[in-house]
Amino acid sequence: MKPPIDERILEFRFPTIQEKNLSNRLTLMLIKKPQLPKVYLRLGLPVGTKHDPSEKSGLWQLVASTLKKGTLHQDYYHLVDRIEQVGGELDVMVNEDFFILYGEFLQEHLEEGLDVLRELVLYPLFPLMEVEKEKFKQLSDLENEKSSPEFLAHRRLEKALYTPHPYASHRTSQSIQNIVRDDLITHHQLAFTSENSYLVIAGKFDPSETIRLVEKKFCDWTSSGWRPKAFPAPSAVISNEIHLIHRPQSQQVNILAGNRLFYRRHSDFEKMLVLNKIVGGGASSRLFLNLREEKGYTYGAYSNLETYGDSGAFVASAEVRAEVTIAAIEALREELQKIQQETVPRYELENAKRFLMGIFPLQNETPASIAGLALKQKLYGLGENYWNQYLKRISQVNEQDIFEMANRWINVNEMIIVVVGDAEQLLSGLTQLGKVKIFDTDDRQVDGL
């Protein structure tokens, strides 16, 4: 019996955003999705961990984790109580490129949410005791990170791919210890600027009342005139190296293989996204079908585009038992060579495009996810009406594009391969594949075992 598939692709338009530039040059974006009596807040600022001073890696993470720890008008406990007493949430995160405050409140508590947001943005005190406490926590987090094989693999890959760009930098115990409270105060004052910042409010609210409220709450937030500096581009990757991280007693082997790619707003992004779906973007992609369903090496084998503001990478990954490590790396390389050498069959291309277009409404189901995409569009500078353009661009990708992308951006002979596991089991096999550099879990290169 034939599966009952509806061949139509439903048309989907990204929700309308009401945009308002406030007098202090903060951009307010309103998205009405009134199904539930809730509001979702996202405030994005164009500053991230790449802006850490090199000897003080971890600084912006420390700003994020101490921002709630007390303001000019209220101490930490009062602030947290105000948020949580009404069943709200307001948290802070920072990534490589951006600093984001995000939260959600019942509709009737929108003003309370904005009040606390204003406190955090304009008046944080970074109390000395709290800063020291957080520094200690971050030092402990370093140990927790080191116990994760996924973290070890990604840290090594990023160092190998992005140096000397700060995407290669990771906090260390020394860099955390170098940070003092004044660093937090000065960096906050400089980079928390209303200009180039975006406040998204999605959910159920009255638009004109909300604009009035935001104007009132944030009118004394001004622009410092700060402009993020440009960073050195990552240098050329040394070809075909295997970086082996010795993690004693590992029960499994983590494999990452990466090529450097472009930044997020690059015009090849959508074409590479289609290529990625074909190669390893899901459970019906080639890597998964080969390494898991055919060979049973792994629970999952995938590829991914990891694109940031200034650069990015194409990364393939699998976690396998030690005895099939070499075979898994070879299978992974073969799949990547295949996409470079053979034209992708039409049905496979069309299915990949259909997946990416079909899944887009699913990714936009909630006000929170729509708010996230709206913010992404602004922060990455993707251009007006980007998300509708995105669907159109995917629909236009053809076989020739995939062939060109594979040969422009994937280079199997210049991939950095990172392997995390018990090196005593792995070293001799890996040396058959190429030059092996060994690292310990502190990411220090070691001469041998």
Partner 1 sequence: MSKDKTFTFHTKFTSEPEESQLVGFRLENGLRVLMLKNHQAPVVAVDLWYKVGSKDEQPGKSGFAHLFEHMMFEGSENVGKAEHIKLLTDVGGTVNGSTSQDRTNYWEVIPANQLELALWLEADRMRSLKITRENFENQRATVKEERRLRIDNQPYMPVIYELKDYISYSNFAYKHSIMGSMEDLDRATLEDVKAFHDTYYRPNNAVMAIVGDFQGQTAYHWVRKYFADIPAGQPVPGVDLSEPLRQQEVRFTYHDPFAPFPALLISQLIPERTHPDFYPLELLEKILFDGESSRFYRKLVEEEQLALHVAGGQDGKFGPGLFFLFAQLHPEKKISELEKAIHSELEKLAESRVSDSELEKAKNKVQADFYSQQETVRSLADVLCLYETIFHQPQRFFTELERFKGVTTAEIQRAAREYLSPARRSVIEVYPQLEKFTQ
Please report whether residue 249 would count as binding partner 1 according to CB under 8 A.
Answer: yes
* Binding string, residues 325-354; x marks residues near partner 1 by CB under 8 A: --------------------------x--x
Select 144 or 413, whichever has its Cβ closest to partner 1.
Answer: 144
Q: How far apart are CA 431 and CA 18, in angstroms?
A: 58
Please report whether residue 280 would count as binding partner 1 according to CB under 8 A.
Answer: no
Please report whether residue 424 would count as binding partner 1 according to CB under 8 A.
Answer: no
- Interface of this chain with partner 1, residues 401 to 420, rule: CB under 8 A: none
* CB 140, min distance to partner 1, A: 5
Question: Contact with partner 1 (CB under 8 A): which of 299, 346, 388, 396?
Answer: 299
Q: How far apart are CA 117 and CA 41, in angstroms?
A: 9
Burial class (CB in 10 A: 0-12, 13-18, 19+), 411: middle
- Interface of this chain with partner 1, residues 139 to 158, rule: CB under 8 A: 140-141, 143-144, 146-149
Select 327 or 412, whichever has its Cβ closest to partner 1.
Answer: 327
Q: String of b and e for 222-240 (b: at least 16 CB within 10 Å)?
A: eeeebeeeebeebeebeee
Question: Contact with partner 1 (CB under 8 A): which of 41, 273, 287, 356?
Answer: 356
* CB 260, min distance to partner 1, A: 27
Q: Is 327 helix (H, G, I), strand (E, B) or coil?
A: helix
Question: Contact with partner 1 (CB under 8 A): which of 55, 108, 137, 323?
Answer: 137
Select 133 or 393, whichever has its Cβ closest to partner 1.
Answer: 133
Burial class (CB in 10 A: 0-12, 13-18, 19+), 105: buried
- Interface of this chain with partner 1, residues 33 to 92, rule: CB under 8 A: 33, 35-38, 68, 76-77, 80-81, 83-89
Q: What secondary structure letter does DSSP report for 324? A: G
Binding-site size for partner 1 (CB under 8 A) equals: 71
- Interface of this chain with partner 1, residues 359 to 388, rule: CB under 8 A: 359-362, 364-366, 368
H-assigned helices in 280-345? 286-288, 325-341
Question: Do 443 and 151 meet the contact criterion of CB atoms below 8 Å apart?
Answer: no
Element housing 202 (H / E): strand 198-203
* CB 419, min distance to partner 1, A: 14
* CB 196, min distance to partner 1, A: 29
Please report whether residue 309 would count as binding partner 1 according to CB under 8 A.
Answer: no
Tokens representing 60? 């912006």
H-assigned helices in 86-203? 110-122, 128-146, 149-162, 173-177, 181-191
Q: Is 186 helix (H, G, I), strand (E, B) or coil?
A: helix
* CB 340, min distance to partner 1, A: 23
Please report whether residue 12 would count as binding partner 1 according to CB under 8 A.
Answer: yes
